[in-house]
Amino acid sequence: AEVGRSRPHESAAAHVAGRAPYTDDLPELAGTLHAALGLSPLAHGVLRAVDLARVRAMPGVVDAFCADAIPGENQCGSLVKDDPILAGGPGATLRHVGQPVYAVVARTREAARRAAALAREVISAETLPPVLDALQAHAAGQYVVPPLKLARGDAAAALAAAPHRVELDFGVGGQEHFYLEGQIAYALPQEQGGMKVLCSTQHPSEMQHLVAHALHCASHAVQVECRRMGGGFGGKESQSALIACVAAVAARRTGRPVKLRLDRDDDFLITGRRHGFRYRLALGHDEEGRVLGAEVVMVANAGHSADLSGPVMTRALCHFDNAYWLPNVAMQGYAARTNTQSNTAFRGFGGPQGAFAIEYALDSVARRLGRDALEVRRANFYGVGERDTTPYGQHVDDNIIAPLVDELAAGCGYAARREAVAAFNAASPVLKKGLALTPLKFGISFNVVHLNQAGALVHVYLDGSVLVNHGGTEMGQGLNTKVAQVVAHELGLPFEAVRVSATDTQKIANTSATAASTGSDLNGKAAQDAARRIRERLAAFAAKRWGGEPQEVLFANGRVVVAGQAMDFAELCNAAYLERVQLWSEGFYATPGLSWDRQTMSGNPFYYFAWGAACSEVLIDTLTGEWRLVRADVLHDVGASLNPALDIGQIEGGFIQGMGWMTMEELVWNPRTGALATHAPSTYKIPTANDVPAEFKVRLYGRPNARDSIHRSKAVGEPPLLLPFSVFFAIRDAVSAAGGHRVDPPLSAPATGEAILAAVQAVRAAA
């Protein structure tokens, strides 16, 4: 069967040969101009004037404009309308260093960038004091969306009555997406006021909508297309909009094709990232470390505008439970407004930040009780048939965490290695080892119900070849490969007979972002629906022509068998065509059974949960703070995999990306100017192939999804990002060992070399 087979990514060969065109590789039309953005030099200020005449006088410059030149709305916010494309006119506030203030269009990209670099000289503004820190904004009551609350039971009473109590103050940093292909849009004016935008985006329909508003035209006049992205990771869900809108406005003004491709440093300065979080947490527990009551305040750095911070915080609160039954819990979530880039979706969408908080707390509880952290985690797992309701009221009725963790712990030799690590540490004063095994549960579906829908369009041509279009976008995750497998399976065709074409708003309307890991769940079902309609029409026709029942017509290996007769799929298509049978179809899917009440923060926001666990062993150098991941074992639940090779790739990639967030990626803003100091790979370190552990064993937990998902598979895009919590807690374990396990290490994330060294010194001083 085609489904369930390990296949290389549909573009794998083209990717490695450099023959897979990304937006910037597409042939440019004659007369193409290039845009660049003039950026705010101030973190906070009042705009007085922009000397555009000086910008226009620069060599090669064709046009330069500010917000007042935008024909429609100067707005690229999606949920909340608080995101100007360009800072407004005189009197408008400048909100962060790097905020686009003007656009310049020139004959070459070089010339445009030179004119954009004049920003500091041509922008006049008055300086206001910036707020760079989320806690400072929180203290001032400065938020981008109203605070959120989610509670169940009586947390305060449970805390007061608990025999043990821990109080913690900690945090986790933000994270740059570092997609290999930066933000880019290429706008091409069309006849009669139309605009085509080739754009690297996870959300073509939203780009279409926002470009139409910016141009003050109807959506039908705007076409957005994306064949592939060189990575999105959430960074191109909403924040491709500013780029698309500027390119389209520039193309409208000049009547020429305009390309806007951000330089990497500008991409860092203009676009936002994963939200860094601060936590204040109190947890009451018993002797076994079982949680009796928990109160948590989460403060996220939202940056200067709302963007997706509301839904991100909602997902954070809905993942504070992770895999654990919390009988009494009270959570508060604040999205603090600061003078930094506007933070946005990033793989996990707040879920990792929510789950990290409870994992940190349980780790501390275990250290304070002197128990193995895995035992404390196990004692708190959701039950089966009891202790199984989430704080937001959804029943966890597909819980497999206990057997999954047992299987991983046994398979990776957790107990024996715990002893071996202790023995190693007893004999090694400088190098210390640490070990941790952490579980994950991740809710699958958009936490906004209406977004859980998708459409597809399948064309069968007379030679039996098939073209598929669906609303999802390809960002490297292999969505098109999986959808092609589903369609090939449905029509009994070889994989090669099916081609998936670029995502295009003229083919599928009103699509959701390819996000929340739902790409293959939603678009796979929609494409299957379209293919099934065609197959049923062909079967009905074949039964009528050759006899037998339609449901007995067999489609397999590119052949069709009907009433004892076999023929090629193409032959059947030809015969059906001559009888005027429709050989193409649309398909649609909407996830059933979802509900969410934003007022009470309760309902069934998720169709199902994905589960997983990882065990990591690290080695730290207590003299330098350097560390290495020695070995990692993963057991991850993807239901009945549509494509095990792609799924393992997603798990490995998510693990290493999350490990970067937990340990090495650190953002620093200059406290005086508010400028992001870490805006290039020279100062912002992401993991590389060298950071992959020599022993990296990833296995799939092969149980089919209990829900009727596409071929009983499960979403895989985001959940693995939580696996490397095990790396962070293994580092904490090693630091704790450096202090003889006498104190709970004061070590937040990211656990950089510097932070590890400081924590080692702190535990030794206290011990």
Of 209, 213, 212, 214, whose CA–CA distance to 194 is shortest?
A: 212
Cβ at position 237, least distance to ligand LUZ in Å: 6
Q: For residues 230-249, which are near ligand MTE according to CB under 6 A? A: 231-234
Answer for the pair 456, 479: CB distance below 8 angstroms, yes or no: no
Residues that bind ligand LUZ (CB under 6 A): 237, 308, 311, 315, 345, 349, 446-448, 451, 513, 515-516
d(CA 97, CA 342): 11
Candidates 34, 228, 347, 482; binder of ligand MOS (CB under 6 A) is 347
Candidates 189, 351, 352, 519; binder of ligand MTE (CB under 6 A) is 519
Answer for the pair 134, 336: CB distance below 8 angstroms, yes or no: yes
d(CA 248, CA 252): 6
Tell me phi and psi for residue 406, to 5 degrees: -60, -45
**Which of ligand MTE, ligand MOS, ligand LUZ, none does 446 bind, CB closer than 5 to 8 A by kind?**
ligand LUZ
Per-residue tokens: 339 = 């003078």
Answer for the pair 163, 332: CB distance below 8 angstroms, yes or no: no
User: Is 174 an interacting residue with respect to ligand MOS (CB under 6 A)?
Assistant: no
Per-residue tokens: 19 = 């023959």
| Residue closer to ligand MOS (CB basis): 512 or 585 | 512
Q: For residues 700-759, which are near ligand MOS according to CB under 6 A? A: 718
Cβ at position 451, least distance to ligand LUZ in Å: 6
d(CA 698, CA 649): 9
| Residue closer to ligand MOS (CB basis): 235 or 333 | 235
| Residue closer to ligand MTE (CB basis): 646 or 734 | 646
Cβ at position 239, least distance to ligand LUZ in Å: 12
| Residue closer to ligand MTE (CB basis): 622 or 650 | 650
Q: Is 465 exposed, middle or buried (0-12, 13-18, 19+ CB in 10 A)?
A: middle
Cβ atoms within 10 Å, residue 423:
11
Per-residue tokens: 267 = 């991409």
* Residue the block writes with tokens 């792609």: 646
Candidates 204, 476, 625, 739; binder of ligand MTE (CB under 6 A) is 476
Candidates 179, 186, 320, 349; binder of ligand MOS (CB under 6 A) is 349
d(CA 155, CA 291): 11
CA distances from 670 to 132, 594, 658 (A): 9, 44, 25
Cβ at position 349, least distance to ligand LUZ in Å: 4
| Residue closer to ligand MTE (CB basis): 653 or 687 | 653
Q: Is 718 a catalytic residue?
A: yes
| Residue closer to ligand MOS (CB basis): 273 or 489 | 273
CA distances from 527 to 489, 490, 519 (A): 11, 9, 11
The three state secondary structure string of 464-502 is CCEEEEECCCCCCCCHHHHHHHHHHHHHCCCHHHEEECC
User: Is 718 an interacting residue with respect to ligand MTE (CB under 6 A)?
Assistant: yes
Q: For residues 227-246, which are near ligand MOS according to CB under 6 A? A: 234, 237
CA angle 637, 643, 647 (to 5 degrees): 45
Strand ranges (DSSP E) for 200-245? Answer: 222-226
**Which of ligand MOS, ligand MTE, ligand LUZ, none does 364 bind, CB closer than 5 to 8 A by kind?**
none
Cβ at position 748, least distance to ligand MOS in Å: 23
Residues near ligand MTE (CB under 6 A), total: 21
User: Is 345 an interacting residue with respect to ligand MOS (CB under 6 A)?
Assistant: yes
| Residue closer to ligand LUZ (CB basis): 106 or 357 | 357
Cβ at position 482, least distance to ligand MOS in Å: 16
Answer for the pair 26, 226: CB distance below 8 angstroms, yes or no: no
Q: Which residues bind ligand MOS (CB under 6 A)?
A: 202, 234, 237, 345-347, 349, 515-516, 718
Q: Which residues bind ligand MTE (CB under 6 A)?
A: 231-234, 347, 475-477, 479, 514-520, 650, 653, 715, 717-718
Residues with a known catalytic role: 718
